Amino acid sequence: MRLEHWIYMLPLRLRSLFRRRQVDAELDEELRYHVERKTEEYIAQGLNHDEARYAAMRGMDGLEQRKEECRDVRRVNSIENFFQDLRYGLRMLRKSPGFTAVAVLTLALGIGANTAIFSVVNAVLLRPLAYPEPDRIVNFFLGNHDIEGTSVPIYMFWREQTEVLQDFALYGEVVKGPGVNLTSTDHPELLRTIHVSAGFFKLFGASVEIGRTFTDQEDVPRGPRLAVISDGFWRRRFGADRSLVGKSIPLGGEPYVVIGIVRDLEPIHSAWNSLGPSLHIDTPADVWLPAQADPNSADQGGSYRAAARLKPGVTLEMARAATNVAQARFRQKYPSERLSSFSFNVEPLSDAVVGNVRLALLVLMGAVSFVLLIACVNVANLLLARATGRRREMAIRAALGAGRRRIVFQLMTETLPLSLAGGVLGIGFGYSVVRVLLAGNSVNLPRIGTHGSDVTLDLRVIIFTMLTATVTGILFGLIPAFSASRGDVNAALKESGARSGCGRGQNKTRSILVVSEIALALVLVAGAALLMRTFVALRAVEPGFETHNVLTFEMSINQPRFDQTTAVARLLRDAQSRVVGLPGVEALAATRSLPLDPNPDYEPINIEGRPPAKDRYQNWAAARQVSARYFEVFRISLLQGRLFTERDDERTPRVVVINETMAKAFWPGYPLGRSPVGERIADVSSANEEESPMQIIGVVADVRDAGLGSKPEPMVYVPIEQRSDVESAADNLFASMIWAVRTNAEPYSLSAAIQRELRIASGGLPVAHIRSMDQVRAEATADSNFNMMLFNVFAGIAILLAAIGIYGVMAYAVEQRTQEIGVRIALGARPRDVVRMVVRQGMRLALTGVFIGVMGAAALTPLMASLLYGVKASDPVVLTAVAVLLSAVALVAIYIPAHRAAQVEPVLALRLE
Amino acid sequence: MSKPSDLVQGTLDLLVLKILALEPLNGWAISQRLRQVSGDILQVSDGSLYPALHKLEQEGWITAEWKPSENNRRAKFYSLTRFGRKNLEREAANWTRLSGAITSVLGLEEA
């Protein structure tokens, strides 16, 4: 029965859709026939021709309406109407190019800004990681992301959980790891290297181009020296020589046999860094070396990452439970180990990669959607002004049988070309904005590639933009459409053309739009102001050292000949004598990590002569290994005691320098009372039990080591020359040697000479990652800089659009009241009175908007609290300043039409009608 | 009186279907026939007839064909389809049941 229905109906529907002209002609003919026969009937009854025809038409009860009803019955009407309206809409837009240009540009601005931010969100948050089943990969981490890495024993406990997890992988960090030198060639090079377990390649789905990856049998302590290299590195360095596989290359001074070439993998790193801003470097690894970790090792040092894949049917919750079991077992075996005090956790790998960037991006997305809303409101306002001119047209349409729905639909269809044009332009605009934005190296986001090359216009971005454009079109088309379809047909037809549409309802809608526009703009400006305060506050932070004229170089000494401290000490001495001799160089220091580039170790400590803390991890300090001249190079001032000298080496008693925060934390009353200088502390982490205590020889000023926005932490400076051999070897494996040179000339101008001397001093090792401390400092504020810059742009657009909006409404209101104002002036009102009257009317709207905006800002800004420094989310000063600013902008925008109103010539105004 | 408010909803369709069941007719002739058979009791506006015809055509109950009319002019003649005839039978049965029920309710003796 249903089917039968369609058999009859379908051809008819198709016919009405595709043979519309013929169907319409037939309808005309059918009804004409009826009217003619009816007329004949009436003539036969004795009426004259005209009377008969009139009677016949009355019998039809509105011929045109009836025709429309018949067309409606055919249902496909909506599709026909759509195309008809579209054609009509395009014609209307062509007829008013000024309006069209303003509307399309406004929309392109709003939509483009959204496209720009969304394309970043897409690349960072939405684009799936380029691994097989990326959402099944879980990342293992300790505590609240506050421990940098995982130790081998912890990994061994975790990988027992084979019930729920598979494809376990242990790997080092490519970003912060020291890398390995490709040596004994003409161009020694520091390679991005990760030590990985054999399972790594399976977990991350490496596709092998030539050869193979490691086997489990090779991934054992003292296993063979093998290397898998990346496709990119192979092409760059070896000209894609296929015979390389099976040959050996010198890495870190040792020959490694290349067994496979693997296509470049998306870099895997953790963006979490509770210690301060983390630097995201999206460079894929060049070389993978077997981790060859000892499963029986008890060494809790090290900084490994661990990940695995959920077994089929296993949920994240089950993996969490299993991880807790691993933790319980680990605690049982190592009850007093420091790492036992941290919880063992798993998270989806994507969370680890994105880290706390998610919040910043979502806040930006929110801000940019406000910009779009404002743009919508502005265009709605423009349309509304235009719609008033078309009231008669709408009334005539209504009189000819167009239903209200039909009129609303028509108006909305007319706005569709506007929003789609805005969308297309917006894609272009947004994309160029993204390119400009990410072109510099200053943007600190994960997964965006070098200079943002991974932020692309993919299908998702285009669909997003076009959807946004369509929804936008509906949004701003709806308000004027309803406003226009409302109202009394008769009244509209009777109104004279020029003065039509001055109804109160229209003005009310426009006023509401302006108020909301100002409120939205205020929220954005408040956000921008807070981020600006943050930026200024961060800029004003005294880092505790002098950044100017310091150049830093990174060198990996991750090779066997530096496994003993004496070798490292010799390297420091050689470098010292070679570099300091250069003209322009004041001093050279070596360190394992730079201030503001946080990578310190945290060590539990005990102070000699005091009862050990109940929990031996209660007292802790950050530790940084430095050479004697560190304080001189960074100009960190000495507060008490003395600094290191070259005589503090492996033969003399172990000494440390502490910072002021440490002194205050452990010696109450510092700097009065008992001085820490002369006291001895012990590092009680398990690897160092047998080490002798270290004597405090000096106290230095605090440095913002953990980032400009973080409070200084207790810090112990340890001489590199006094590390034990075990410690030195571990340091080499997990951290680079960083050379810092204080110059009395432009630091980069000395770069080549210093590099040359460092290479000679180190026996041919390359340096990489050359940065001035000014640059390091700039990178430390890159996040807040980026947020602030974008917010400022958005806020600027918002203010501009809001100003245009209120100007438009007031100019229109003044124009409507020209006559009235003319009468007032004729009756003796002074220009001042007129200005005051108009300004009062406008400012009432503006201040309502400001008030609502302040409420909104107070409600919304707490969402961005974690992006702020040195200012509270709902800072009253900021809110007040922003309110004043917006009121002032509104005043200017209102003053222009008010001034014009005061110039009204009464005689002209009265003649207007 | 733009809508046949005095006609129960759907009754017009039933009447049209029944008339067309007898012979194919054009719109004007249907309106003539309606007036004749109902003896002017059922007031059907000419205006509402055509939307009803188009609706029935779209539903597939009737089909249309252009043919020369009584006075040799081209007119659109509607005729009942097989599908329409089935529906007419069902609707007519419904109507009989409904009117019978109403009649019997109205026929109740007041106590």
Flag the least confident range among A54-58, A119-123, A146-150, A383-387: A146-150
Q: Which residue of B has its CA nearest to A14?
A: B58
- Checking if the pLDDT of A415 tops 90, the result is no
CB of B60 less than 8 A from some CB of A: yes
When scoring A17, A28, A38, A61 by the number of chain B Cβ atoms within 10 A, the one with the most, hence best to mutate, is: A61
Q: Which residues pair with B63 in a beta bridge?
A: B79
Residues of B in contact with A54 (CB under 8 A): none
How far, rounded to the nearest angstrom, does the alpha carbon of residue A708 sit from its chain's CA centroid? Answer: 20
Amino acid symbol at A169? A
Say yes or no for a CB contact (<8 Å) between A5 and B59.
yes
CA distances from residue A896 to A384, A809, A889 in whole angstroms, order as listed: 21, 12, 11
Say yes or no for a CB contact (<8 Å) between B28 and A31.
no
User: Could you tell me which residue, A663 or A360, shows the higher pLDDT?
Assistant: A663
- In this structure, what DSSP letter does residue A273 have? -
Handedness of CA A288, A723, A646, A712 (dihedral sign): positive
CA proximity to A197, closest of A71, A323, A294: A294
Residues of A in contact with B36 (CB under 8 A): none
User: Could you tell me which residue, B11 or A631, shows the higher pLDDT?
Assistant: A631
**Mind giving me the DSSP string for A633-689?**
HHTPPEEEE----TT-STTSPPEEEEEHHHHHHHSTTTTSSS-STT-EEEE-SGGGT
Task: Give the C-alpha separation, A105 to A90, whole Å.
Answer: 16
What mean pLDDT do residues A708-737 have? 87
User: Could you tell me which residue, A694 or A439, shows the higher pLDDT?
Assistant: A694
What mean pLDDT do residues A710-721 have? 90
A816 burial (CB, 10 Å; 0-12 / 13-18 / 19+) is middle
Chain segment B35-73, per-residue pLDDT in tens: 887 766 666 777 788 888 888 888 888 888 888 877 778
User: Could you tell me which residue, B73 or A75, shows the higher pLDDT?
Assistant: B73
What ranges in B39-81 are assigned the alpha helix state H? 46-59
Token reading at A152:
């081998």
Token reading at A234:
């192979």
What mean pLDDT do residues A523-543 have? 89
Chain segment A101-132, per-residue pLDDT in tens: 888 888 898 899 899 889 988 888 888 888 88
Q: Which helix (H) or strand (E) holds A786?
A: helix A782-816
Chain segment A792-808, per-residue pLDDT in tens: 888 898 888 888 888 88
Amino acid symbol at B77? F
CA proximity to B3, closest of B59, B51, B41, B74: B51
Say yes or no for a CB contact (<8 Å) between A70 and B58.
no
Among B50, B51, B60, whose Cβ lies nearest the Cβ of A9?
Answer: B60
Task: Give the C-alpha separation, A788 to A344, whole Å.
Answer: 36
Q: Which residues pair with A607 in a beta bridge?
A: A681
What mean pLDDT do residues A315-322 have? 92
- Checking if the pLDDT of A689 tops 60, the result is no
Chain segment B66-108, per-residue pLDDT in tens: 888 777 788 889 988 888 888 889 888 888 888 888 888 888 8
Question: Given this model, what pLDDT does residue A185 score?
Answer: 63
CB of A5 less than 8 A from some CB of B: yes
What mean pLDDT do residues A292-305 have? 80
Residue A362: other Cβ atoms inside 10 A: 15
CA proximity to A154, closest of A143, A171, A142: A142
Residue A31 distance to chain B (closest CA, Å): 8
Task: Give the C-alpha separation, A580 to A627, whole Å.
Answer: 14
Task: Give the C-alpha separation, A730 to A242, whole Å.
Answer: 35
The winner for highest mean pLDDT among A12-16, A79-83, A155-159 is A155-159
Task: Give the C-alpha separation, B51 to B2, whole Å.
Answer: 12
User: Could you tell me which residue, A360 or A147, shows the higher pLDDT?
Assistant: A360
**Which residue carries 């960083």 as its tokens?**
A738
Question: Given this model, what pLDDT does residue A520 score?
Answer: 92
**Mind giving me the DSSP string for A527-551?**
HHHHHHHHHHHHHHS--SS--TTEE
At A429 the three-state DSSP class reads: helix
What mean pLDDT do residues A458-480 have? 84
Question: Given this model, what pLDDT does residue A590 score?
Answer: 95
Say yes or no for a CB contact (<8 Å) between B51 and A66.
yes
Say yes or no for a CB contact (<8 Å) between A4 and B60.
yes
| Rg, C-alpha atoms of chain A | 37
Give the HSE-up count for residue A424: Cα atoms under 13 Å, Cβ half-sphere.
5
CB of A74 less than 8 A from some CB of B: yes
Q: Which residue of B has its CA nearest to A55?
A: B46
- In this structure, what DSSP letter does residue A763 have? T
Say yes or no for a CB contact (<8 Å) between A8 and B1.
no
User: Could you tell me which residue, A874 or A19, shows the higher pLDDT?
Assistant: A874
Strands A193-196 and A287-290: parallel
Chain segment A568-626, per-residue pLDDT in tens: 999 999 999 999 989 999 999 999 888 887 656 777 788 888 877 666 557 788 889 99
At A165 the three-state DSSP class reads: strand
How far, rounded to the nearest angstrom, does the alpha carbon of residue A824 sit from its chain's CA centroid? Answer: 56
pLDDT tier at A497, thresholds 50, 70, 90: very low
- Give the 3-state DSSP-derived string for A105-160, with helices as H, strands as E and coil as C: HHHHHHHHHHHHHHHHHHHHHHCCCCCCCHHHEEEEEECCCCCCCECHHHHHHHCC
When scoring B33, B54, B79 by the number of chain A Cβ atoms within 10 A, the one with the most, hence best to mutate, is: B54
Residue A669: other Cβ atoms inside 10 A: 8
Q: Which residues pair with A684 in a beta bridge?
A: none
Cis peptide before A290 (omega within 30 of 0): no
Task: Give the C-alpha separation, A880 to A876, whole Å.
Answer: 6
**Mind giving me the DSSP string for A192-208?**
-EEEE-TTHHHHTTPPE
Quick check: A439 and A449 in contact, CB under 8 A?
no
Among A12, A30, A61, whose Cβ lies nearest the Cβ of B47?
Answer: A61
Chain segment A245-289, per-residue pLDDT in tens: 999 998 888 899 999 999 877 776 655 543 333 444 556 788 899
Task: Provide the chain A residues 95-124 that lie in CB contact (below 8 A) with chain B.
Answer: none
User: What does pLDDT average to over chain A?
Assistant: 83
Say yes or no for a CB contact (<8 Å) between A66 and B47.
yes
The winner for highest mean pLDDT among A19-28, A689-698, A737-746 is A737-746
Amino acid symbol at B67? K
The phi and psi torsions of A828 (rounded to 5 degrees) equal 110, 5
Question: Given this model, what pLDDT does residue A46 score?
Answer: 86
When scoring A6, A8, A22, A63 by the number of chain B Cβ atoms within 10 A, the one with the most, hence best to mutate, is: A8
> How much of chain A is in helix, strand and coil states, percent to nearest 5?
55, 15, 30
Residue B7 distance to chain A (closest CA, Å): 17
What mean pLDDT do residues A403-412 have? 75
pLDDT tier at A206, thresholds 50, 70, 90: confident
pLDDT tier at A28, thresholds 50, 70, 90: confident
Task: Give the C-alpha separation, A51 to A67, whole Å.
Answer: 23
A230 burial (CB, 10 Å; 0-12 / 13-18 / 19+) is buried
CA proximity to A425, closest of A469, A490, A364, A474: A469
Q: What proportion of chain A, given as a percentage, has pLDDT over 90?
A: 26
pTM above 0.80, yes or no: no
Say yes or no for a CB contact (<8 Å) between B58 and A7.
no
A7-40 in b/e form (b: 16+ CB < 10 A) is ebeeebeeebeeebeebeebbeebbebbbebbbe
**Mind giving me the DSSP string for A678-689?**
T-EEEE-SGGGT
Q: Which residue of B has its CA nearest to A32?
A: B75
User: Could you tell me which residue, A682 or A757, shows the higher pLDDT?
Assistant: A757
The phi and psi torsions of A294 (rounded to 5 degrees) equal -85, 115
Q: Which helix (H) or strand (E) holds A249?
A: strand A248-251
Question: Given this model, what pLDDT does residue A499 score?
Answer: 47
Question: Given this model, what pLDDT does residue B4 score?
Answer: 41
- Checking if the pLDDT of A856 tops 50, the result is yes
CA proximity to A885, closest of A526, A371, A616, A559: A526
User: Could you tell me which residue, B52 or A1, shows the higher pLDDT?
Assistant: B52
The winner for highest mean pLDDT among A269-278, A652-661, A691-700, B20-29 is A652-661
Question: Given this model, what pLDDT does residue B2 score?
Answer: 39
Say yes or no for a CB contact (<8 Å) between B83 and A38.
no
- Checking if the pLDDT of A560 tops 50, the result is yes
| Rg, C-alpha atoms of chain B | 16
Q: Which residues pair with A189 in a beta bridge?
A: A182
Residues of A in contact with B63 (CB under 8 A): 8
Token reading at A27:
């309808």
Count CB pairs under 8 A between chains A and B.
76
Question: Given this model, what pLDDT does residue A498 score?
Answer: 44
Question: Given this model, what pLDDT does residue A489 score?
Answer: 62
CB of B4 less than 8 A from some CB of A: no
Residue B87 distance to chain A (closest CA, Å): 10
Quick check: A422 and A115 in contact, CB under 8 A?
no
Say yes or no for a CB contact (<8 Å) between A8 and B45.
no
Token reading at A349:
């790998």
CA distances from residue A188 to A232, A244, A253, A399 in whole angstroms, order as listed: 17, 18, 11, 86
pLDDT tier at A538, thresholds 50, 70, 90: confident
- In this structure, what DSSP letter does residue A304 have? B
What ranges in B1-111 are assigned the alpha helix state H? 11-22, 27-38, 46-59, 82-106
Quick check: A850 and A842 in contact, CB under 8 A?
no
Question: Given this model, what pLDDT does residue A275 score?
Answer: 38
User: Could you tell me which residue, A516 or B45, shows the higher pLDDT?
Assistant: A516
